[in-house]
Chains A and B, each alone.
Chain A
Amino acid sequence: MNRLLSFFPLLARRARKKHFELICILPLLIFLCVLTVVPIARTVLLSLEPVEGNGLTMSHYRELFAQEGFRLAMFHTVSIAFLSLSIEIGLGFLFALILSKSSRVIRFLRPVFILPLAIPTAVVGVMMSYLFSGQGWINRILMDLGVLNEPVYWMSGGWRSIVMVSLADSWKVTPIVMLILLSGLQSIDPVLYKAARIDGAGVFYTFRRITLPLLVPSITAAVIIRGVDAFRIFAVPLILMGQNLKVIGTFAYLEYQEYNNPYTSAASSVILLGMILCAVLIYLKTAGRKGIAGA
């Protein structure tokens, strides 16, 4: 190893100085490489592999895009991601504003606001099936309150189910968004608010000119962390809707487990990976530009 490194004097000097750190960190990096980079490469290869014979083929991708089910799954994934992300950011912001109030009752209620984080995702699916089924509690309560005259069949597919899955997912993950935004809120210097008040600024003006601009980094962090997870959504739609409303995650799973077709499964998960990368890049670009314009 040392002899090999001595070909690169600078690297060798650095490595010798840091060899303890390198030995510490190598096992983790090797493990992550073997269990993430290698599988990803294998998935990409698998998606290009013909069922019989050698060479590479795009036929699995063509097959996917020819299927209406897959095009629908793509549409569902994107719309659920958008909808649930908007709900989560909105509600998470509301939660964070409430929790940033210094009141004894609020401090006492804090555990309640992060409680859903502790519920396993698969269990969230179970809970939500009790709430949203035709005879479920949402219909029951809305009818008891007189908002609805007849039950809404949330699980019947289409936009209703998209809304249902988004709401179910938001219930679980809004606390994460809240925590990210809350730490952003708490890092704003209270002197700024004081100064604004002395200068006679109103609540909304202060919010728009101080709170919001200073929260942009936290919002960006929340959107990226949550946005990635929103595209990867799996357990909730699988448990609530199964075959009846597929997102790409469950599509790939069912393609492999039910129809025993690893090739299209691999192809669809490659497409999902591509979608996530695109979404993150687009967001970073637009948000970055806005940040520059704001400065």
Chain B
Amino acid sequence: MNRPVKRTFFWMTVLILVCLLVFPMYIMLKISVSAPRDVFTQNPPYLVRHFTLSHFRDVLASGSVFFAPLSKSVVTALGTSVLSLLLTVPAAYAISRFRYRARYGLILVIFLTRMIPEISIALPVSITFIKGGLFDTVFGLMLAHLVRVLPISCFILVGVFSSFPKELEKQALIDGAGRLYAFFKIVLPLSLRGISVAGIFSFMFSWDEFIYASYLTLSKPTMPLKMYYYISRGNIFSSATYAVIITIPVLIFTFALQRYIRPGYLSGAMKG
């Protein structure tokens, strides 16, 4: 094969892949802004022919049907990320100060919790919560979401604290500062960026969570559950609109954090 042929072949592949990646999202967006006659026909058009915002207006006008799940999702996600930071910031700091073998072992143990199928945690947790009165509450859901969020937050933070210059901290200790003082006055303020990245990831992983939410809610659904409700009712426009609304914040965060999304965080925590 000569060069030009090779190059066209390469760019054709890239083009096809990009289309495959974008097309499903395009269809979802298109349905959420199309008039029903664009969708319920034998051959729906590829482009939006009759643009409408009425589906969004309907969803927003449905009042507490929409705003209750929204606020539950937002409150749960915010609470989950705050709680996860409270638990993982000190722990990750400690892990990053251990020697290699202890650090590696602890990270592995925390990673192993990701291997457990969520359904086998969700079932007993939901039974306990029904007995303990935490079922169908925001706090109960936060606790369950933490199981999913903590390992990820911990990985990111171990990476953050491992790359913190140890000399700075040592200097403070030599100058007579206590461990706590050094941690709060030196390590924490200088690691705020990394910590906020961990917080945002925690938010995202709680925001779109589906399994624990479906085991632990009955009358007060979160956004993904509300969307599932519309799917099972066959309401194509509401489900598409909800899907778009759920996706928007995650999409914005992902783009903002693009350069942090790399498995290097994992290996960074392991090697360090």
Contacts and interface: CB of A to CB of B under 8 A. Distances in A.
A57 interface: no
A113 B253 CA distance: 16
Nearest to A221: B263
B216 to A, nearest CB: 12
Contacts of B10: 98
B214 A253 contact: yes
A11 interface: no
A151 to B, nearest CB: 12
Contacts of B23: 131, 137
B165 interface: no
B80 interface: no
B116 A40 contact: yes
A179 B91 contact: no
Interface string B239-267: 11001001100110111001001111001
B231 A239 contact: yes
Contacts of B239: 126
A228 B114 contact: yes
Interface in A145-185: 171, 176, 179-180, 183
B254 A118 contact: yes
B204 to A, nearest CB: 8
Given A98-B14, A120-B224, A130-B27, A24 B121 contact: no
B224 to A, nearest CB: 4
Given A24-B90, A112-B18, A123-B208, A43 B120 contact: yes
Q: How large is the interface on B (under 10, 10 to 19, 20 to 34, 35 or more residues)?
A: 35 or more
B150 interface: yes
Contacts of A43: 120-121, 123-124
A126 B28 contact: yes
A95 interface: yes
A25 B243 contact: no
A31 B143 CA distance: 9
Contacts of A42: 124, 127-128
B21 interface: yes
B63 interface: no
Q: DSSP class of A's interface residues: helix, strand, loop or mixed?
A: helix
B144 interface: yes
A273 interface: yes
B146 interface: yes
Interface stretch (B49-57, B94-102, B189-197): B94-102
B119 A269 contact: yes
A196 B191 CA distance: 43
A235 B211 contact: yes
A128 B87 contact: no
Contacts of A20: 94, 179-180
B262 A265 contact: no
Contacts of A29: 91
13 contacts: A25-B90, A27-B91, A32-B110, A109-B14, A117-B254, A117-B261, A118-B253, A119-B25, A122-B246, A231-B117, A256-B123, A272-B119, A277-B115
Interface of A: 20-25, 27-29, 31-32, 35-36, 38-40, 42-43, 46, 94-95, 98, 106, 109-131, 137, 140, 171, 176, 179-180, 183, 221, 228, 231-232, 234-235, 239, 242, 249, 252-253, 256-257, 262, 265-266, 269-270, 272-273, 276-277, 280
